């Protein structure tokens, strides 16, 4: 009898676990248009949001994280009447205790200026068009957004941060917005020593390391193109307190994107040179210092592309576990690989094939409770369509999430259920 009871309990456990497996879903074709981004609230029962610019505004679709199906078509989120040819997207992910607390922030650019839009967790619009910088054209290639919190006197103050360049590409500017969309401070973040120097590339996210916000950018100088990092922190009122900038002296003449991510007390930035990806740590101690370069291109990858993206992977306790990196491969694949927190290659990578080419890829990881899921966005070649989907690691490969092959959910309720069964088993054995 005791054996039959245990057998029944184990059957229930297997049914619970078995509900989380098997099958395929075609990647979501979003639509053609300009700049695209993707973010998530980070929860098993939450959403991920894909947005892209169009000739008349911003479109977006909200998907369920749990099964990778559409929750709501938000298009159009913004009707600008003008082409939105650059945008960036930020989420409060990592600073909330449940998905319903999330907000998304879109910074977007037309030829008329730079604006912001705040969405609630379910995609409903809180603030449609917040003027940020409308006195002149904003650079088409220089726009990044992020979110972070300032702690003071036991209170948390959350801010969305935008970094951008005016159309002259001669300096970097910033704006800090609170969660209601009110601009708390703005101005020049960095200016070159030589007025002949030009900005050429800005990281696509404003990263946050728990204290400092950070961006990476490239500057064209007389002797070549150099990579810079800028970090700054805020007071509780949303004004800049400390602001540091430094140039990575070597190497010069890199190309492509320069993704950056905060790893807690510092950052990791990646750069592309000579058909390889490298990373360098950005350390902060009354200024910026750089760690040594890490070659992070796996031996099995041929001709990796220069467009790349980084994101953090937390464990179930909210501690950063590793860094996920994605970039296109010369073999018509999308590569996702694992980096240690010091930026070095962790010895694991995975590839996607079949829906490429994978241009301008972007990754946002859902790691907050159950096993991590990689939400990926890219732009295909001839059609120019933005495409997005969600993947989990299964049998050593990236497998697309679907209604039959859902993200394994081991949130509080299921965990408590399994613990209760485990306790009952132990009790029965006494």
Beta bridge partners of 218: 201, 227
Full-model pTM: 0.89
Looking at residue 423, what is its pLDDT?
Answer: 42
Dihedrals phi, psi of 310, to nearest 5 degrees = -125, 150
**Alpha-carbon distance values, 4 to 15, 288, 426 (Å):** 17, 64, 15
Looking at residue 366, what is its pLDDT?
Answer: 86
- Cα–Cα distance, 312 to 372 (Å, whole number): 10
**Alpha-carbon distance values, 237 to 176, 189, 233, 294 (Å):** 10, 17, 11, 38
Residue entry with tokens 């020593």: 193
Using only C-alpha atoms, what is the Rg of the chain? Answer: 22
Nearest Cα neighbor of 120 from 104, 107, 106 is 104
List, run by run, the mean pLDDT of 10-residue segments along the chain (430 residues): 44 37 66 93 94 96 96 96 94 93 96 95 96 83 95 94 91 97 97 90 95 95 91 98 92 82 94 92 96 93 89 79 92 92 95 84 85 91 85 92 85 41 40
Nearest Cα neighbor of 266 from 247, 244, 250 is 244
- Cα–Cα distance, 309 to 354 (Å, whole number): 20
Beta bridge partners of 381: none
Q: What ranges make up the beta strands (E) of 249-356?
A: 260-262, 267-273, 276-284, 288-290, 294-295, 309-314, 320-329, 333-339, 345-353
Dihedrals phi, psi of 394, to nearest 5 degrees = -145, 120
- Cα–Cα distance, 73 to 375 (Å, whole number): 17
Looking at residue 256, what is its pLDDT?
Answer: 82
**Segment holding 176, helix H or strand E:** strand 172-178
Can the peptide bond before residue 251 be classed as cis, meaning omega within 30 degrees of 0?
yes
| Inter-residue contact 164 to 172 (CB < 8 Å) | yes
Chain centroid to Cα 312, Å, comes to 8
Beta bridge partners of 392: 373, 399
Cα 110–146–77 angle (5° rounding)?
45
Looking at residue 80, what is its pLDDT?
Answer: 93
What does DSSP assign to residue 304? B
Looking at residue 36, what is its pLDDT?
Answer: 95
Looking at residue 382, what is its pLDDT?
Answer: 62
- Cα–Cα distance, 416 to 411 (Å, whole number): 9
Q: Cβ atoms within 10 A of the Cβ of 81, count?
A: 10
Nearest Cα neighbor of 271 from 303, 293, 291 is 293
Nearest Cα neighbor of 385 from 117, 61, 48 is 61
- Cα–Cα distance, 165 to 190 (Å, whole number): 10
| Inter-residue contact 120 to 131 (CB < 8 Å) | no
Looking at residue 317, what is its pLDDT?
Answer: 72
According to DSSP, the β-strands at 397-400 and 385-394 are antiparallel
SS (HEC) of 11-49? HHHHHHHHCCCCCCCCCEEEEECCCEEEEECCCCCCEEE
Residue entry with tokens 């479109």: 59
**Alpha-carbon distance values, 69 to 26, 155, 405 (Å):** 10, 37, 11
Cα-based torsion angle of the residue sequence 21, 25, 31, 34 in order, rounded to the nearest 10 degrees: 50
């Amino acid at each position: 009898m005791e054996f039959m009871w245990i057998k029944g309990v184990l059957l229930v456990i297997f049914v619970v676990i078995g509900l989380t497996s098997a099958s395929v879903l075609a990647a979501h074709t979003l639509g053609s248009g300009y700049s695209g981004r993707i973010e998530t609230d980070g929860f098993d029962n939450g959403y991920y949001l894909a947005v892209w610019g169009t000739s008349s505004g911003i479109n977006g679709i909200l998907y369920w994280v749990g099964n990778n199906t559409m929750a709501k078509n938000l298009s159009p989120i913004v009707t600008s009447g003008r082409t939105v040819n650059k945008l960036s997207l930020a989420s409060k992910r990592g600073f909330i205790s449940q998905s319903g607390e999330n907000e998304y922030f879109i910074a977007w650019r037309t030829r008329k200026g730079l604006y912001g839009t705040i969405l609630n967790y379910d995609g409903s619009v809180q603030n449609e068009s917040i003027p940020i910088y409308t006195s002149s054209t904003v650079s088409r290639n220089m726009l990044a957004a992020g979110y972070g919190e300032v702690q003071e006197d036991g209170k948390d103050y959350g801010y969305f941060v935008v970094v951008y360049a005016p159309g002259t590409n001669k300096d970097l500017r910033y704006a800090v917005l609170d969660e209601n969309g009110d601009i708390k401070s703005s101005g020049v973040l960095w200016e070159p020593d030589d007025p002949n120097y030009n900005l050429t590339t800005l990281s696509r996210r404003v990263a946050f390391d728990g204290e400092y916000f950070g961006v990476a950018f490239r500057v064209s100088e007389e002797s070549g193109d150099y990579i810079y990092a800028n970090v700054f922190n805020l007071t509780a009122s949303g004004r800049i307190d400390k602001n540091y900038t430094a140039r990575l002296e070597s190497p010069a003449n890199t190309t492509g994107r320069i993704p950056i991510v905060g790893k807690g007390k510092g950052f990791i930035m990646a750069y592309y040179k000579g058909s390889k990806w490298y990373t360098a740590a950005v350390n902060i101690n009354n200024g910026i210092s750089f760690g040594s370069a890490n070659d992070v291109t796996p031996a099995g990858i041929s001709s990796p592309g220069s467009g790349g993206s980084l994101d953090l992977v937390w464990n179930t306790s909210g501690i950063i576990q590793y860094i996920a990196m994605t970039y296109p491969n010369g073999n018509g694949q999308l590569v996702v690989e694992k980096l240690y927190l010091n930026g070095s290659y962790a010895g694991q990578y995975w590839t996607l094939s079949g829906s490429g080419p994978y241009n301008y890829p972007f990754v946002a990881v859902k790691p907050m409770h159950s096993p991590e899921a990689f939400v990926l966005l890219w732009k295909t070649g001839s059609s120019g369509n933005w495409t997005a989907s969600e993947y989990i690691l299964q049998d050593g490969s990236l497998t697309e999430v679907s209604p039959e092959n859902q993200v394994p959910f081991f949130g509080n309720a299921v965990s408590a259920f399994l613990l209760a069964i485990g306790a009952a088993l132990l009790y029965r054995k006494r």
